[in-house]
């Protein structure tokens, strides 16, 4: 049985709790959050014996094997390094950190202490992304050459003043949201990114200190290209759209908002039936537990998380300078 402490009991932690509860081989035994009442509520929901306002309290416990870090982006590095120093395996929410120096500190600390560091790139664990990955691995579309990933809509509350709209806390919109898609692009395209070009605007939510819409174009070392566009804060809130086209040298996958257009029907191949956002958090947590138990490789390594971060920091710089950012 893996004993786990959750650190951070805010928005995303709710979804992690729902992912921990069904794990037969793991048990959450402590919860820490700066806001002690949040920790207490979460601990009660999980049946965890400890709730604390100081994450060091859970790290000092000998019976805690692993931590699940669900705190504000900027805080990931210090908490993860301390966790590694206390010999705990680490699942950390995306983005791995907000600077490359912090990501490096986390990777080095985990390596030094021989603990697993897994970055919670949730999009790798949804049904839709796994179905695409399997189709690619089976060679059903040949080598991926072009990806267009559009996801838009304004589901952030417009009066939100929490840390999620502070570029200082999150690294900026491209960093905190773009890492999902940058990592997915890398995973699907199976090539090394060589450059990124970003553009962004803030026309519909000008009171936010960060962009409400961005797009980036990634060029890969095999000549493939991925174009992604993402919004989270644009108005009107009802303006949701989503479309993915993945073109391979020998076939393609595509999805839209309508169920019937999700991937392609094909005699046991390329199967994907919506809705697309299924099982992500539970599967991600399950993989973490399984790999820690087996002593295997991290399902999403620190280096992979760092690469997605480097790309998104590059896109943020590209947005500022108007230049293509080369790695």
Ligand X SMILES: NC(=O)c1ccc[n+]([C@@H]2O[C@H](COP(=O)([O-])OP(=O)(O)OC[C@H]3O[C@@H](n4cnc5c(N)ncnc54)[C@H](O)[C@@H]3O)[C@@H](O)[C@H]2O)c1
Interface residues with ligand X (CB under 6 A)?
A: 7-13, 32-35, 38, 55, 70-73, 75, 93-94, 120, 122, 162-164, 176
Write down the least CB distance from residue 195 to ligand X, Å.
25
Write down the least CB distance from residue 243 to ligand X, Å.
19
Task: Give 11 or 275: the residue with its C-beta nearer to ligand X.
Answer: 11
Write down the least CB distance from residue 225 to ligand X, Å.
25
DSSP symbols for 43-65:
HHHHT-SEEES-HHHHHT-TT--
Task: Give 120 or 286: the residue with its C-beta nearer to ligand X.
Answer: 120
Task: Give 1 or 35: the residue with its C-beta nearer to ligand X.
Answer: 35
Task: Give 55 or 325: the residue with its C-beta nearer to ligand X.
Answer: 55
Task: Give 7 or 135: the residue with its C-beta nearer to ligand X.
Answer: 7
CA distance 192 to 207: 37
CA distance 231 to 213: 4
For 313-327, give one letter per residue: b (16+ CB within 10 A) or e: bbbbebbeeeeebee
Write down the least CB distance from residue 193 to ligand X, Å.
21
CA distance 309 to 179: 6
Of 255, 233, 231, nearest in space to 245 by CA: 255
State which residue has the least CB distance to ligand X: 10
Write down the least CB distance from residue 44 to ligand X, Å.
15
């Amino acid at each position: 049985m893996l004993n786990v402490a959750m650190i951070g009991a805010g928005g995303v932690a709710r979804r992690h709790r729902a992912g921990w509860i069904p794990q037969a081989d793991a048990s959450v035994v402590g919860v820490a959050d700066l806001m002690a009442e949040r920790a207490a509520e979460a601990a009660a929901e999980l049946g965890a014996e400890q709730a604390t306002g100081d994450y060091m309290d859970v790290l000092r416990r000998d019976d805690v094997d692993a931590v699940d870090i669900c705190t504000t982006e900027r805080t990931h590095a210090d908490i993860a390094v301390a966790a590694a120093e206390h010999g705990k395996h680490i699942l950390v929410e995306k983005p791995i950190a907000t600077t490359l120096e912090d990501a490096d500190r986390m990777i080095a600390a985990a390596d030094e202490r021989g603990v697993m560091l897994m970055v919670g790139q949730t999009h790798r664990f949804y049904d839709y992304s796994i179905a695409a990955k399997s189709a690619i691995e089976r060679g059903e579309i040949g080598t991926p050459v072009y990806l267009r990933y559009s996801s838009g809509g304004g589901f952030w509350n417009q009066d939100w003043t929490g840390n999620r709209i502070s570029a200082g806390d999150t690294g900026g919109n491209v960093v905190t949201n773009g890492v999902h898609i940058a990592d997915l692009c890398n995973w699907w395209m199976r090539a090394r990114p060589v450059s990124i070009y970003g553009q962004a605007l803030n026309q519909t939510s000008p009171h936010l200190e960060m962009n409400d819409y961005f797009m980036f174009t990634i060029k890969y070392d095999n000549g493939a290209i991925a174009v992604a566009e993402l919004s989270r804060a644009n108005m009107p809130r009802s303006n949701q759209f989503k479309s993915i086209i993945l073109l391979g040298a020998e076939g393609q996958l595509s999805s839209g908002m309508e169920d019937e257009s999700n991937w392609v029907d094909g005699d046991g191949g390329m199967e994907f039936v919506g809705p697309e956002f299924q099982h992500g958090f539970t599967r991600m947590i399950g993989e973490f537990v399984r790999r820690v138990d087996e002593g295997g490789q991290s399902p999403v390594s620190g280096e992979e998380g760092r690469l997605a971060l480097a790309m998104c920091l590059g896109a943020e710089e590209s947005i500022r300078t108007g230049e293509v950012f080369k790695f």
